[in-house]
Amino acid sequence: MVSQHSGLRVRDSDRVDACSLLDSARAAGELSESEHTQRTAAAMRARTFGDLDALISDLQIPRNLVDAPLIRPERRLPRRRWIAAAGTVAVAALLGSFFGWVSEPDPPRTARTDGTTGQGFGSFLAAYRAEYGDSPVDDVTLYPDYVRVDRPIEGNRSEDLTYRDGRFGNSSTSSRSGSTESFQLTDIDVRAIAAILAGAPQTLRVPGGAISHVSIHRSPGATDQSPVVTVYVTDGTQQGHMDIAFSGEPREVFPEDGK
């Protein structure tokens, strides 16, 4: 399928959109597991919109992506693209909204991925899908410079992976409790979480702070509950954190002043 700006280079966010569409197609039965794995790997290697068009042209488009540049060629701007991220958190006395946005020329591509940003978070998830498919995880922690992953493997053991500079490395293996409940990273709504990351310092009332790390986990002993994304913010002296469902729905918010 040849479309406007097919030769335009894609950004990480466009690759993430393509992987989300492929996930939806697999869940709907449009793609087999092997087709999904092959196309996801190709999407992560894509350089242009034309590369991505070839991977999705025969698939139905999920509602949440109908306005994405991946689907609407007229939104593919050759020099500048606006990425809007918005979310709202309301818990007890904490009411309000936050908005994060980026409006700047495409930065130079680097291998470094800041997992505490929306783009870095999405890039890591897409890279993990490309590397391991739908493999379950026990725990993930994302830092500005790297990501740590506990992934279950055969023999009731787990491996401690490190993702840094676009590559996965195996640090060590250890025994794993048979009662540990894993979860799938592919269940995360990347766009919803990205919106929350964009406004986390304001939401947690640490406006001069930054996200120190993001934990994706299931609380010990809480096997009957869904896993959560916990976002931690600090400015060195003040701190706050919040638990977010994979859908982007706020669960609990603990702002800096505790109110």
Percentage of residues in the chain with pLDDT exceeding 70? 79
Q: Let me know: does 255 contact 205? Beta carbons within 8 Å.
A: yes
Give the 3-state secondary structure percentages of the chain, helix then strand then coil, rounded to 5.
30, 30, 40
Mean pLDDT computed over every residue of the chain: 78
Report the length, in residues, of the chain.
Answer: 259
Q: Let me know: does 194 contact 16? Beta carbons within 8 Å.
A: no
| pLDDT higher than 80, residue 12 | no
| pTM, 2 dp | 0.62
Task: Enumerate the domain spans of the chain.
Answer: 12-75, 82-259
| pLDDT higher than 80, residue 172 | yes
Percentage of residues in the chain with pLDDT exceeding 90? 25
Q: Let me know: does 188 contact 196? Beta carbons within 8 Å.
A: no
* Rg (the chain; Cα; Å): 19
| pLDDT higher than 80, residue 111 | no
Report DSSP state, residue 74: G
Query: In whole angstroms, how far apart are CA 77 and each of 11, 21, 69, 106, 238?
Result: 12, 21, 9, 11, 40
Instruction: Identify the band that residue 143 occupies on the pLDDT scale cut at 50, 70 and 90.
Output: very high
pLDDT score of 192: 86
Instruction: Identify the band that residue 258 occupies on the pLDDT scale cut at 50, 70 and 90.
Output: low
Mention every residue, 6+ apart, whose C-beta is less than 8 A from residue 24: 62
Residue 63's φ and ψ, nearest 5 degrees, are -60, -35
